[in-house]
Amino acid sequence: MALFTQSFVITLFLGAIAAGIPLLLAGLGEQLSEKAGVMNIGLEGMMLFGAYTGFLAAWASGSPSLGFIAGAGGGVVVASLMALLCVRLGLNQIVTGIALTLAAEGLTALLHFVQFSRTYPRLDGVAPLPIWPLSEIPFVGPVLFNNNAVFYLAIVLVVVFSWIYRQTHLGAALLAAGDKPAALDAAGVDVMRTRAMAVLITGALAGLGGAYMSIAVAGVFVPFMSHGNGFIAIVLAMLARGRPLWVLGGALLFGGSLSLTTALQVAGIDVPTDVIQMLPFAMVMVVLLVAGRKAALPQALGESFVRGAR
């Protein structure tokens, strides 16, 4: 088949990675929060706000690294609101999450309009960090070992999170916070603090994912640019049943379907973009149909914890 030239396949894989990394980061974060019992619907807002703050910092300082840090920070800002409202004050997690997402969308669109609507500044992209000599391997090298630092960090996080969940007291505490918070409380661990920490880390990861989209992939900030990625990440986290490696697989799958558009264009096949852009969402439906029924969620997911309440 003429379609599967090497350049097509490499473009497809690179695209899958570019689109998959934000999903992976946000999905890992959501998985963490859900384990701890917080349904983080505000993920989309955290990504978007991170994309904005990350772009702003990278543009102002000229340093993508500072941009990534600022993106994570932006996510944490939104997440701290989530932690305050849902964990501390026990408000409804779904409603709060939706409100935060809408607020982030409105705020970033407004700020973008005020600052950049005439100039439309672009960033140069992020220089890759080739891992020599692995980067010289044909095909595998350019796809896996010639990427930027955030990519490597995301992969390392998959391993780190797996280790935390399986091997540490923290992993057990997180599970307990989501499954039986009263048991964790009785064991002398602060449930609110455990959950708040999980939400803040989620914010940082989602913000970093957003910044990756604006700084490394697009090079610009566009209002609403997170484009449903946060919600796909929520689905990913749910389907992954607590396993970080499954989030990685899911992120690449969805990232692949997101990147098909570009890859098909490279191959010279003209399919209306509107059709192609539906692909990831159609994929969500299909995967949910196949695997969603068996997804097990923590018992106390979405419930705020009040000591002594039954």
Residues that bind other proteins (CB under 8 A): 167-170, 172-173, 175-176, 179-180, 182-189, 298-299, 307-308, 310
Q: Output the smallest distance, CB 160 to other proteins, in A.
A: 11
Q: Give 168-235 as a DSSP string.
A: SHHHHHHHHHHH-HHHHHHTT--HHHHHHHHHHHHHHHHHHHHHIIIIIIISS--TTTTTTHHHHHHH
Residue 250 neighbours by CB under 8 Å, 6+ apart: 23, 27, 236, 239, 240, 287
> What distance in Å separates the CA atoms of residue 45 and residue 63, rounded to the nearest whole number?
24
> What distance in Å separates the CA atoms of residue 225 and residue 60, rounded to the nearest whole number?
20
Q: Output the smallest distance, CB 310 to other proteins, in A.
A: 7
CB closer to other proteins, 114 vs 309: 309
Q: Output the smallest distance, CB 302 to other proteins, in A.
A: 16
CB closer to other proteins, 183 vs 245: 183
DSSP β-bridge partners for residue 130: 146
Q: Output the smallest distance, CB 139 to other proteins, in A.
A: 39
> What distance in Å separates the CA atoms of residue 48 and residue 32, rounded to the nearest whole number?
19
> What distance in Å separates the CA atoms of residue 128 and residue 300, rounded to the nearest whole number?
42
CB closer to other proteins, 194 vs 259: 194
Q: Output the smallest distance, CB 186 to other proteins, in A.
A: 4
> What distance in Å separates the CA atoms of residue 227 and residue 221, rounded to the nearest whole number?
12
CB closer to other proteins, 127 vs 296: 296
Q: Output the smallest distance, CB 190 to other proteins, in A.
A: 10
CB closer to other proteins, 170 vs 266: 170
- CB count within 10 Å of CB 307 equals 10
> What distance in Å separates the CA atoms of residue 51 and residue 111, rounded to the nearest whole number?
12
CB closer to other proteins, 84 vs 170: 170
Q: Output the smallest distance, CB 91 to other proteins, in A.
A: 20
CB closer to other proteins, 66 vs 170: 170
> What distance in Å separates the CA atoms of residue 309 and residue 194, rounded to the nearest whole number?
19
